[in-house]
Amino acid sequence: MGGSPGGPIDKSPHEVEDWERLADAINSALGARGLQSTDEHRRAIESLQNYRDLSYYERWVAATEKLLVQKGVLTDDEISDRAAEIERRWGGT
Amino acid sequence: MSEHHTHEQTTRSPYAARIRAIEALLLEKGVLTEPEVQDSISYMEARSPANGAKLVARAWVDDEFKELLLSDGKAAAAQLGMDPEHPAEFVVVENTPKVHNLIVCTLCSCYPRAILGRPPDWYKSFEYRSRAVREPRAVMREFGYEPPEGVEVVVHDSTADVRYMVLPMRPPDTEDLGEEELARLVTRDSLVGASVPRASATTP
Amino acid sequence: MGRDLSYGPGDRVRVLPAEKPGHVRTPGYLKGKSGWIEAVIGRFPNPEDLAYGLAGRPERNLYKVGFRQADLWDDYEGPAEDILYADVYEHWLEPGEGGTA
């Protein structure tokens, strides 16, 4: 990354969304509990196939998910099922 | 799609539901508790560049404090009631008439979050991370700053356990300003070194 | 991967050019480059092991290493005095030319 060519820097601020705050918080809380380390999380981010297609916090969530599944704390299915339920609820019908 | 959807909802990331799902599951399974999650949210909300501005303003008016800030950043922060819990080292580097410092984390987005809170989006961007090490002067120009003739530019890539913050130079003609007024001149971007503090209270 | 020698400020060092799979905390742009030890930062668990849930022991020496920007980039725009510092673990360093170990 360092030294590669790059375009102009976008200095526009973006309001942190609640889900992004939550991503930060879950990450720290898991770290404080010793369930994942900063370095594991970084490594998980780097290993994402679609790294360049995701936003900063999307990468964070994807990495946290990857680690939780790898460590057997949660399963991919549980997360997907619950996420779908939540989306349905937000859909508002 | 129902017409009741707001623009925000139609562009919401799919990861928003995923992190809420993860939170719900972790709480249900007792892996984390509600208070822990809340405390974690509060921790980050309590931190902002205002903390950095306070450290800088104090260093500008108090030479002993400045020495402490430059030799033991965490102790200096603790002295002003900040709580830099995180075990990483916190190092403050000084801008002088000969040296201007710029901080970057090319590998991820290391930043002194325990003091300053979340880094600006631009700091985390691929563009900043790739260019700051190779063309720091061009990057600073994009922030409207050009170091004077003869000033050396020093880039710090925080590749390991140290988190860096810049102690900018005190703007000229500010002798009669109090600490709080001085702190208001210190911008978030000047603490990274992308630019310098405002010259006066009326400068944008 | 590199001998665990102890360096002191002023020592000339070179970052190993090695390609190492997995999580690596030494940026690609520094590999094979020569610089000097600016400061000894301290001893920390090896983050490259921590990244895989290992204990990261024994702890490794971490150094603040200085490089002339002109040595890092052929097309560097700026005076010869411009510098870049990176924090590099001992196992990624070897003694540089004319350096002592």
- Could you confirm whether B48 is annotated as catalytic? no
Give dist(CA C91, CA B88) in Å, integer: 20
Q: What is the mean pLDDT of residues B43-49?
A: 93
What is this structure's pTM?
Answer: 0.91
Domain count, chain A: 1
Query: Would you state the pLDDT for residue C12?
Result: 97
β-pair partners for B58:
none
Q: Would you say residue B3 has pLDDT above 60?
A: no
Residue A7, chain C, CB below 8 Å: the answer is: no
The pLDDT tens digits for B99-111 are 999 999 999 889 9
Q: Determine, for residues C41 and B161 on separate chains, whether the beta-carbon distance falls below 8 Å.
A: yes
Q: Check CB contact of C28 with chain A, cutoff 8 Å.
A: yes
The angle at the Cα of B63, spanning B61 to B66, to the nearest 5 degrees, equals 90
| Buried/exposed A33-59: b ≥16 CB within 10 Å, e otherwise | eebbbbbbbbbbbbeeeeeeebebbbb
Residue A76 lies in a domain: yes
B159 CB near a chain C CB, below 8 Å?
yes
Could you say which residues of chain A have pLDDT below 50? Answer: 93
Predicted local distance difference test score (pLDDT) of residue B22: 97
Please confirm, yes or no, whether B109 is among the known catalytic residues: yes
Q: Is A68 on the interface with C (CB under 8 A)?
A: no
Respond yes or no: is residue B2 known to be catalytic: no
Least confident among A29-33, B11-15, B191-195, C86-90 = B11-15
* Mean pLDDT over the full length of chain B: 92
Q: Which residues of C touch B97 (CB under 8 A)?
A: none
Domain residue ranges of chain B, discontinuous segments joined by +: 8-45, 49-192
Query: Of the spans A48-52, C54-58, C92-96, which averages the highest pLDDT?
Result: C92-96
% of chain B residues with pLDDT over 90: 85
| DSSP secondary structure code for residue A77 in this structure | H
Nearest chain B CA: its distance from C101 CA (Å): 22
Distance of alpha carbon C60 from alpha carbon B141, whole angstroms: 38
Q: Does A55 reside within a domain?
A: yes
B158, pLDDT greater than 60 = yes
When pLDDT is cut at 50, 70 and 90, the band that residue B10 belongs to is low
Nearest CA in chain A to C49: A39
What span, in angstroms and rounded, lies between the C-alpha atoms of C65 and B139? 23
| Rounded Cα–Cα distance for residues A10 and A13 (Å) | 9
Q: Before C9, cis peptide (omega within 30)? A: no
Burial-class residue C22 by CB neighbours within 10 Å (0-12, 13-18, 19+): exposed
Specify the pLDDT at position B6: 43
Using one digit for the tens of pLDDT, what is the confidence trace for B140-150? 999 999 999 99
C47 and A39: CB-CB below 8 Å?
yes
Is some CB atom of chain C closer than 8 A to the CB atom of A34?
Answer: no
Choose among B103, B191, B104, B102: nearest CA to B152.
B102
pLDDT digits (tens, 9 = 90+) for C4-46: 568 999 999 999 987 766 667 789 999 999 999 999 999 988 8
- Fold exhibited by the domain B49-192: Nitrile Hydratase; Chain A (3.90.330)
CB contact burial B102-139 (16+ within 10 A = b; e otherwise): bbbbbbbbbbbbbbbbbbbbbbbbebbbbbbbbbbbeb
Instruction: Give B14's contacts in chain A (Cβ within 8 Å).
Output: 83, 87
d(CA A51, CA A45): 7
What pLDDT does residue B164 have?
97
| Predicted pLDDT of residue B203 | 81
Q: What is the pLDDT of residue B7?
A: 44
Q: Do C84 and B160 touch (CB under 8 A)?
A: no
The pairing of beta strand C60-68 with beta strand C34-44: antiparallel
* CB–CB contact C51 A39 (8 Å): yes
User: In a 3-state reduction of DSSP, which class is residue B167?
Assistant: strand
pLDDT digits (tens, 9 = 90+) for B176-190: 999 999 999 999 999
Confidence of residue B33 (pLDDT cuts 50, 70, 90): very high
Query: Is the minimum CB–CB distance between A5 and chain B shorter than 8 Å?
Result: yes
pLDDT of residue B5: 41
pLDDT in tens, B60-94: 999 999 999 999 999 999 999 998 676 678 999 99
Is residue A42 a part of any domain in this protein? Answer: yes
Task: Indicate whether C93 pLDDT > 80.
Answer: yes
Q: How far apart are CA A47 and CA B88, in angstroms?
A: 24
B142-159 mean pLDDT: 96
Task: Name chain C contacts of A42, Cβ cutoff 8 Å.
Answer: 23, 51
Residue A86 falls inside a structural domain = yes
Residue B8: the pLDDT is: 46
Domains, in order of start, for chain C: 12-95 (2.30.30.50)
- Which domain CATH number covers A64? 1.10.472.20
What range defines the domain where residue A60 resides? 36-91
In whole angstroms, give the CA distance from residue B175 to residue C5.
49
Task: Give the chain C residue nearest B105 (alpha carbons).
Answer: C86
Question: What percentage of chain B reaches a pLDDT higher than 70?
Answer: 93
Say what the ipTM of the complex is: 0.93
